[in-house]
Amino acid sequence: MSSLALSRRSLLAAAAVAAGRLALPSSLLAQPATNASGRFPICTFVKYLQSLSFDELGQTIAGLGLKGIEATVRNKGQILPEHAEEQLPKLVEALQRHGVEIMIMASSINRVDQPWTEKVLRTAAGLGIKRYRMDYYLYDLNKPVADQLRELKPVVKDLAALNRQLGIQAVYQNHAGTKYVGAGLWDLHELLEGIPKEEIGVAYDIRHASIEGGQTWPVTWNLMQPHLAAVYVKDARWEGRKVQDGPLGWENGVVDPAFFKLLLKSDFNGPISLHVEYLEKGTIEENVTAIRENLVTLRKLLNQTA
pLDDT in tens, 73-106: 999 999 999 999 999 999 999 999 999 999 999 9
pLDDT number for residue 54: 98
We report the CATH number of the domain holding residue 99 as 3.20.20.150
State the pLDDT at residue 147.
98
Mean pLDDT of the residues in the chain? 90
**Closest alpha carbon to 296 in 24, 14, 100:** 24
Under DSSP, is residue 113 helix (H, G, I), strand (E, B) or coil?
coil
- Please give the residue range of the domain that contains residue 136: 3-302
What is the structure's pLDDT at 28?
A: 36
**What total of structural domains would you count in the chain?**
1
Which region holds residue 53: left if phi is over 0, alpha if psi is between -120 and 50, else beta? beta
**3-state class of 267 per DSSP?**
coil
- Could you tell me the pTM of the whole model? 0.88
Regions of the chain where pLDDT drops below 70: 1-38, 304-306
pLDDT given for residue 106 in this prediction: 98
The span from the CA of 45 to the CA of 48, in Å, is 8
Sequence-distant (6+) residues with CB within 8 A of 215 are none
